[in-house]
Structure 1
Amino acid sequence: MAGAGLSCAVIARELAEAGHRITVLEKRLHVAGNCHTERDPRSGVLVHVYGPHIFHTDDEEVWNLVNRYVTFRPYVNRVKATTGGRVFSLPINLLTINQFFGKTFSPSEARAFIESRADRSITEPKSFEEQALRFIGPELYEAFFKGYTLKQWEVDPKRLPASILKRLPVRFNYDDNYFFHRFQGMPEEGYTPLVQRLLDHPNITVHLGEGLAAADVARFDHVYWSGPLDGYYGFDEGRLPYRTLDFERFEGEGDIQGCAVMNYTDASVPYTRITEHKHFAPWESHERSVCYREFSRHCGPEDIPYYPVHLTEGDALLQRYQARARNERGVTFVGRLGTYRYMDMDVTIRAALDVARAALAG
């Protein structure tokens, strides 16, 4: 296994329980990849070291799997957004609409009002901007999405696929739950214990601080590669575009911002959001607090890749790498980086289960 994140941990466990001996090589000094959590020694706050991760899914098997290893506590993600000097609730819901436009709409009135603002000439939205203009109109798009998207991706929203915005719901009631899945929660002890316990099997050996290169593949019967797809090939055709994140950490007494996530959607604010980590574990109580200001930028060679960048016009470089990957023998590319697609944690686990079961069936 090249990597000790969720993908390889799930595959390793499935194969180990079937009797296979597994070696996991992880270049970092901890498991769990970007889901890694640790206790801040000063405040006791459980910190999401590489930015917050919130577990949500409709996949009951995946939900049961993660709960087999750690206890998940109920958690509802209620995001706020600061725009134009005012604070609103996200995702866009009836309260957001009424506050923003100074109205007291009922659900049906709000739906009709937003439809009247929408650009109905756009019948099949292809870009992020077209999707926004078609379904929420220019005012809400400008206030909540355009500036934030420019900061997050540094790409004109006309060049981003509509699928990015399709992940964000618009509600015509007062439901401010950011997600709509049946199962939502946070692991009581954090994500790192989840991955540690997945890897805690006599047939699994984990080596931290040790990476894997393509030249090492011949040492193993089969390799599951969760690193960057282009990295496997030494970036010999060029680097695929990723976004990385920088975190400006600050601490203080008490409750600093009153919520877990505050988005800053104005383009004039350099960061995309502030996260206050103790609010991700509302069952705990801490006198001090730890916050991250989050900045998005182009991923350089020495940076941690977070988000693959997909454009409406497609990507010939990605297609070349994918064609080579399909022809590999003895290597399976997994995870967000290995498959070069954005995946939430539950989708990552489902994909890993499918890969492991296909290997065992084959």
Structure 2
Amino acid sequence: MSNKSILIVGAGFSGAIIGRQLAEQGHKVRIIERRAHIAGNCFDERDGATDVMVHVYGPHIFHTDNQRVWEYVNRYGHMMPYVNRVKATVNGQVFSLPINLHTINQFFKTTCSPDEARRLIEEKGDKSISDPQTFEEQALKFIGRELYEAFFKGYTIKQWGMQPSELPASILKRLPVRFNYDDNYFNHKYQGMPRDGYTKMVEQILAHENISVELNTEFDRQEAGDYDHVFYSGPLDAFYGYRHGRLGYRTLDFEKFIYDGDYQGCAVMNYGSVDVPYTRITEHKYFSPWEKHEGSVCYKEYSRACGEDDIPYYPIRQVGEMALLEKYLSLAEQESAVTFVGRLGTYRYLDMDVTIDEALKTADAYLASLADDSKMPVFVVNAR
């Protein structure tokens, strides 16, 4: 197998991991990144005033059931135990999320046992809805109007910029209720935070003699022909100069403020009421509970439609966007020697562990294609 010349667009987890896997097999990898830093939206850095490690583009909490992924991140960073315990301020009270037995008893001012709580929630559910088609119908069917309006309706309106009655039921994939006192936000076997931050982890992944990284560098499609293969983790529509229009995203604005002391006593506090303009406040020192800081760095988080100059966060994937996506997928499928990867390249919302898993599988697929002289797919995953 002869050594290949590889161009990777984007120095986030997708690009860094693919680059590292190929570099270790002797291939020469050039990674270009349009921003002034590596690690993509996982970029973190120390706040100058407080020394708190700040997740600059919003909190990233690592959780997975995938052992290969867990072993991979531990190879490049020291993972510390971390349990995400989210709180929500509703009607002047603070509750635990996801909805659990404590939330139910507190909200309804009861002392239900697990079985009693199940019966209570079943009674609250709207039995007239047999086949929920929308987010709102899904919530009303399974948890009833009171919990839906308190914890989901306003938050969803702010997060997505549309009514829950306009969103598909699939967004609320499963019954968001636990009938015990478990307030661990995630169910995954492996959960943690990198002691030295995600930026340091990505830096370690990129530290290989066969990898070069260039920051503040835009991708020029004319360069693609100079390489044996291109892995592209930028926006799919941007690759084609937005010729059919822009795919829809939500973006986030962060209002950062410093507090002398402890501001809210937890990492994440949700605000479900539409009367509060932000969706949540994050207090970043609580993402590193093994550290001690006198001061605190907090972010108020606002969601809105993504403009041309904004950072795209959440792909909307509604009917109109899916029709537009199909046009771009048809263009992409005509490419050769290009593979689209990651959240932006495949226009899908991805958790970190899925991003890492897909990057590893993409590298596996490319190495296999070289070994058996087969064509590397444009998409290793189903982007539809």
Q: Same fold (TM over 0.5)?
A: yes
Report what 2:322 is aligned to: 315
Distance 1:285 1:9 in 2: 31
Structure 1 pair 289–326 and aligned structure 2 pair: CA distance change class (3 A): same
In structure 2, which of residues 163, 172, 179 is the aligned counterpart of residue 172 of structure 1? 179
Shift of 1:124: 3.4
Shift of 1:136: 1.0
**187-196 or 126-135, larger mean C-alpha shift:** 126-135
Report what 2:346 is aligned to: 339
What is the CA deviation profile of residues 171-203 of structure 1, one whole-angstrom value per residue up to 9, with x for unaligned ones? Answer: 010000000000000000000011111111011
User: Contact 1:161–1:312 (CA<8 Å) still a contact in 2?
Assistant: no
Opposite residue 81 of structure 2, the aligned amino acid is P
**314-323 or 61-70, larger mean C-alpha shift:** 314-323
Gaps of 5+ in 1: none
In structure 1, which of residues 182, 191, 194 is the aligned counterpart of residue 201 of structure 2? 194
Residue 315 of structure 1: SS of its match in structure 2?
A: helix
Shift of 1:48: 0.3
Shift of 1:314: 6.7
Shift of 1:313: 7.3
User: Contact 1:159–1:311 (CA<8 Å) still a contact in 2?
Assistant: no
Report what 1:47 is aligned to: 54
Report what 2:168 is aligned to: 161
Distance 1:243 1:214 in 2: 26
Report what 1:67 is aligned to: 74
User: Contact 2:248–2:321 (CA<8 Å) still a contact in 1?
Assistant: no
Report what 1:299 is aligned to: 306
Distance 1:345 1:217 in 2: 27
Distance 2:355 2:170 in 1: 18
- The Cα RMSD (Å) is 1.3
**290-299 or 212-221, larger mean C-alpha shift:** 212-221
Matched, 1:226 2:223: no
Equivalent residue runs for 1:1-362 within 5 Å: 1-166=8-173, 169-311=176-318, 315-362=322-369
What is the CA deviation profile of residues 32-60 of structure 1, one whole-angstrom value per residue up to 9, with x for unaligned ones? Answer: 00000000121110000000000000001
Distance 1:201 1:241 in 2: 36
Distance 2:295 2:237 in 1: 42
Residue 243 of structure 1: SS of its match in structure 2?
A: strand
Q: Normalising by structure 1, report the TM-score.
A: 0.97
What is the CA deviation profile of residues 269-298 of structure 1, one whole-angstrom value per residue up to 9, with x for unaligned ones? Answer: 000000000000000000100000000000
Gaps of 5+ in 2: 1-7, 370-384
Identical-residue share of aligned pairs (%): 63
Distance 1:158 1:324 in 2: 33
> How many equivalent residue pairs?
362
Distance 1:297 1:231 in 2: 20
Distance 2:211 2:130 in 1: 52
Distance 1:225 1:275 in 2: 31
**221-230 or 168-177, larger mean C-alpha shift:** 168-177
